[in-house]
Copies of this chain bind each other. A is one copy, B any other.
Amino acid sequence: MRGVFGMLAEEIKNYTIKQLKSLAEEIRSEIIEKVKDCGGHLSSNLGAVELTIALHKVFSFPQDKLIFDVGHQCYAHKLLTGRDLSTLRKQGGTSGFPDPEESGYDPFVSGHSGPSVALGIGLCNARDLTGGTEKVISVIGDASLGNGLALEAMFSSEEKPKNFIVVLNDNGMAINQNTSALYATISKMTAKKRYRRFNSFVSKTFKDTSAFGRNLRKIKYSIKGWLNKNAFFERCGFKYVGPVNGHDLAELVSVLEGIRSIDEPVLLHVITQKGHGYTAAEEDPARFHGVNKNFAQQENSFSVALGRLLSDRAEKDGSLVAVTAAMTDGVGLSGFAERFPTRLFDAGICESYAVAMAAGMAKGGLRPVVCIYSTFLQRAVDQIVHDVCLQGLPVIFCIDRAGFVGADGKTHQGLMDVAFLRSVPGLDFYAPKDCAELADVFDFAYAKGRPAAIRYPNGYAPNLGGKMRISDYYLWETLSDGKDVCVLASGARAVRRALEAKKLVSPFGPKIVNCRSISPLDGKVLDAVAQMKLITFEEGYASGGFGSAVAEYYARKGMPVRLKIMGSESAFVSHASAEEQAERYRLTAKDLALKIQAMYRMEG
């Protein structure tokens, strides 16, 4: 599919600034229109339109390499490189994130914060060892720069590779308010009144020097003294250039041309406005960070329920504190934040820090509840092991977006948390079937005072009935009795589909068990159903998942069973709706119904 702009990336090299400006308007309109149709990331993409156009005007991609950190700013880039946003985030359509499978203009898939600097250094190291000459450009937001991975890369060496450009896309805010020391460092530069004057000087000088061609090298060194020096970035091995107005195409093109003509590592500081050009988004960029069709905000039942639950429990227990990592809204904590501002700790995009800091708070007698999406919790595996579970500290992890996540696709799937966490010693692990049960499970885990994790999916989650509150005796809940075949379903969507499947296979009547505790398993139920034909059913990788734990349980007890494991194959699952993803991996109610029927037909 070719986008409305075709392969403009080539053509715009000959555009005038005026033409570029008019193109920026068209691209902005296209982004707004298509995000309105398909949902997507709006604010950050609108903020990066001029920057992207200027980069394509000045550099020669894909020979030069352009790495978007997180990828929340890649839509203009997609439009300029022939991609069609009318299928954005739809099954078979254009991904919401960069992807080499989609275009040679994207060196990496990106969806998590912080790797762009490390990836860029890696590309440069390879280029320098193999004698290449291309430029490598990493575009990173101010919030992502505070992530540990980005900081490790920034501080990795005093000497950065030549022909490496880090563009700091500074929109002055992360998804949520950014109070970091790093940002304070950055914003000090912006505050300088002289910066306009400097910029204008620098821009002109670069222009002049380009004209001088070969004299550039000499002149550069005299320019250096004039550049707005910054100890932080200079110490990290970059020449600091900026700040530059990220919506002024003439300025951007001029400065980038200057940078292109030198070979030293440069950090270009660009000031942009999230949501630029769309008033509603400018005024409330967080609201328009990620939106659904018609700019509706995603309604996630579990997130809403969790927010209410924590507010309620925090009212009753002064030691309950909430921790998140730049996803206060996403995990449902906005209300909590308003009600208990001193008890909500937003660590920025620093999952490792969030978890270790929570461990410290737990040691100090508080009861931290860490709310992080499944995919991002991968960033804190060692802290969960080493700083929480090894210490036996009562931190509760609320893992949102567990299972298929839908339109965000490959980089955001919550399919691995069971495999990663179920083996961690001392960690209790739950998956409630609905929002009512979330409260039960939370209270149960909280009362135990041990490390615990609770996983649940995004999207709408209906209440499924069932009145058996979780207890040490009734870890699992039989939702529907049946004979011969038993479905062991783990997680909200799996349980819902299991109940639907039972209706589909009527008059066959499998037993349906809500396996709301993954660690520990309910040995009493497993022993009781061992003679039945068993199907484990979950939305997550079958490999290492809940079904694997069940198979292991019987194997360790030396009990041979007839067991089918239904879960996702281990694959990176691309964008589509969560239901379509379940169809793709044969995890719908209908798929389960077919399996149940097959089990009934099976001998023995």
Contact = CB atoms under 8 A, between A and B. Distances in A.
B126 A155 contact: no
A126 B365 contact: yes
Q: Max chain B CB contacts within 10 Å: which of A120, A149, A360, A390?
A: A360
Contact of A184 (B182, B235, B353): B235
Given A555-B565, A558-B562, A563-B555, A146 B152 contact: yes
Contacts of A235: 181, 184-185
B118 A356 contact: yes
Interface string A118-151: 1111111111011010000000000000111101
A189 to B, nearest CB: 12
Contact of A148 (B151, B416, B550): B151
A509 interface: no
Nearest to A237: B181
Interface stretch (A33-41, A245-253, A277-285, A418-426): A418-426
Number of copies: 2
A126 B558 contact: no
A interface: dominant SS: helix
Contacts of A213: none
B122 A358 contact: yes
A439 interface: no
A541 B360 CA distance: 27
A344 to B, nearest CB: 11
B122 A364 contact: yes
B347 A156 contact: yes
A179 interface: yes
Contact of A385 (B185, B361, B416): B416
A411 interface: yes
Given A156-B350, A544-B422, A125 B185 contact: no
Contact of A129 (B130, B181, B342, B561): B342
Given A181-B155, A348-B156, A360 B122 contact: yes
B129 A360 contact: no
A382 interface: yes
Interface in A96-110: 100, 107-109
Interface in A168-200: 179-182, 184-185
Contact of A120 (B107, B130, B360): B360
Q: Which range contains the number of A residues in contact with the other chain?
A: 35 or more
A494 interface: no
Nearest to A377: B382
A74 interface: no
A403 to B, nearest CB: 15
A378 interface: yes
A358 B565 CA distance: 35
B560 A555 contact: no
Interface string A591-604: 00000000000100
A390 B411 contact: yes
A257 to B, nearest CB: 25
Nearest to A134: B364
Contacts of A391: 100, 108-109
Interface in A220-248: 231-232, 235-237
Contacts of A130: 319, 364-366
A548 B558 contact: no
Q: Max chain B CB contacts within 10 Å: which of A356, A425, A541?
A: A356
Interface string A533-561: 00010000111110111111011101011
Interface string A320-340: 010000000000000000000
20 contacts: A100-B391, A107-B363, A109-B386, A115-B383, A118-B359, A119-B359, A122-B360, A130-B364, A130-B366, A147-B152, A149-B353, A153-B353, A156-B348, A156-B350, A156-B357, A157-B180, A390-B572, A419-B422, A536-B555, A548-B549
